[in-house]
Structure 1
Amino acid sequence: MSHNIDPTDYVEVESGSLKFQDESQQAKFELGVCMAVYKWDELNTAVENSWGGANSSEKRDWISAIVIELFDEKVVDIQLIEETLLYAMVDEFDTEVDNDSALEIAAIIMKFYKDVGIKNYTDIEFLYNKYQEKQARGASNVAKIHIEEDPNNPDVSDSEEDDEEDENIPTLHEDSMDIDEEPSGPIVDDDGFELVQKKGRKGRR
């Protein structure tokens, strides 16, 4: 698919912004952006595995929002959308995507913008209907914010969240490890015994 995409394809207005003045058109475009972002398998994998932490689902919605904001400007091209998606994956999920998937999602978003401009909502509604069907079947939990409710990882997500916190702390904040881990159990004294025990538990993982 990507070989048919022109990364220099763009939309532009002479004045104002690319945002649709008609509220119903703008709403359809925003829905289209969300559906395109939700279609991105690499991002879905990052969310389902909580690579962005406990609020990974919220971060996915935030990515949709920053893409929508790109169209507050006078000109947007496919490459700008692609770069925005890739940077967001690195910043929010510590994940580098080295294939053309972000380019393909960017191309879909650009197509949706042009479709909405002529009030053609067919493809957007098709994706939205597929999304709703998946939700109705219970086949996906992407609309839920709480990672612990992920049907693919019902038993391990809580410990994964703890692991996220542990792994993000290591050498930068070793001195404060006992403080960061306080919620896990009571502090017996200030002599460091709790810290030693917790380090040993972490080492067994």
Structure 2
Amino acid sequence: MASIDPTDYVEVVEGQTSLKFGNEKQQAKFELGVCMAVYKWEELNTAVDNSWGGANSADKRDWISGIVIDLFDETVVDIQLIEETLLYAMVDEFDTEIDNDSALEIAALVMKFYKEASLENYTNIDIAYGKWQEKQGKSQTHKVTIGSDPNNPDVSDDESEDEGEDDSNVPALVEDDSMEVDEPKGPIIDDDGFEMVQKKGNRRR
């Protein structure tokens, strides 16, 4: 893999208050890219497959996608910040310390997807998603929702059964303390190819 510069960064242009894309499609594609990058992290997948984070291990993986997306609500983000966020999440949620450069590689991929999305170039994001679909055997996709804390869900599983959403549009991000994680097995894509992600909070130290 090509050498990674951990100081590589993106920052807002004049007049903007965050790195979040104002264009709905750009933001949706970028969030999809983040999910695909996080799902590519083998060390995290191993932790999830072995339930190192407990019964909610899969939920925690999707929560990690959410906190990475949250970083881009700020005005400046660099690769090292993303890497540290990933490493802290592994310690906090899976009691696992990563001593290789795998988190750095995932952080660099997130940065790459952000820069490409900023140019409205979604080729690599779509390729990553296509490969993920193949890996899943084109099984039924599940909604990715990011709860405030997978260890302490505030809502019962029964409430997560509600099916009243209109999937034709990407919804606004919801800041709701009662939100829970609902069987996140991967991103859900609407009819226009947009990913739908709900997220809450950034637990980075």
> Equivalent residue for 1:122?
123
With 128-137 and 38-47 compared, the bigger mean Cα shift is at 128-137
Q: How does 1:42-53 map to 2 (within 5 A)?
A: 42-53=43-54
> Equivalent residue for 2:27?
26
Identity of aligned residues (%): 75
5+ long unaligned stretches in structure 2 = 145-205
Aligned structure 1 segments of 4 or more residues deviating by more than 3 angstroms: 141-145
5+ long unaligned stretches in structure 1 = 146-205
> Equivalent residue for 1:106?
107
Which structure ranks higher in relative contact order (CA pairs < 8 Å, sequence separation ≥ 6)? 2
Question: Is 1:12 paired with 2:11?
Answer: yes
How far residue 134 of structure 1 moved from its aligned partner, in angstroms, is: 1.1
Question: Structure 2 counterpart of 1:11, which letter?
Answer: V
How far residue 136 of structure 1 moved from its aligned partner, in angstroms, is: 1.6
Aligned to 1:136, the other structure's residue is in SS state coil
Contact 1:63 1:85 in 2 (8 A): yes
How far residue 144 of structure 1 moved from its aligned partner, in angstroms, is: 9.5
Q: Which has the larger radius of gyration?
A: 1
Q: How does 1:146-157 map to 2 (within 5 A)?
A: none
Aligned positions, number: 142
Q: Over the residues paired in the alignment, what is the CA RMSD in angstroms?
A: 1.9
**Pair 1:137–1:69, CA change in 2 (3 A):** closer
Question: Is 1:95 paired with 2:96?
Answer: yes
**Alpha-carbon distance in structure 1 between the residues aligned to 2:48 and 2:133:** 19
Contact 1:89 1:95 in 2 (8 A): yes
Question: Structure 2 counterpart of 1:97, which letter?
Answer: I
Q: How does 1:1-205 map to 2 (within 5 A)?
A: 1=1, 4-13=3-12, 14=14, 15-136=16-137
Question: Structure 2 counterpart of 1:113, which letter?
Answer: Y
CA offsets 1:67-89 (integer angstroms, 9 cap, x no match): 00000000000000000000000
Question: Structure 1 counterpart of 2:121, which letter?
Answer: N
**Alpha-carbon distance in structure 2 between the residues aligned to 1:105 and 1:142:** 23
**Pair 1:78–1:111, CA change in 2 (3 A):** same
**Alpha-carbon distance in structure 2 between the residues aligned to 1:82 and 1:117:** 21
CA offsets 1:109-168 (integer angstroms, 9 cap, x no match): 000000000011111111100000111267xx99699xxxxxxxxxxxxxxxxxxxxxxx
Give the TM-score, by structure 2 length.
Answer: 0.66
Aligned to 1:73, the other structure's residue is in SS state coil
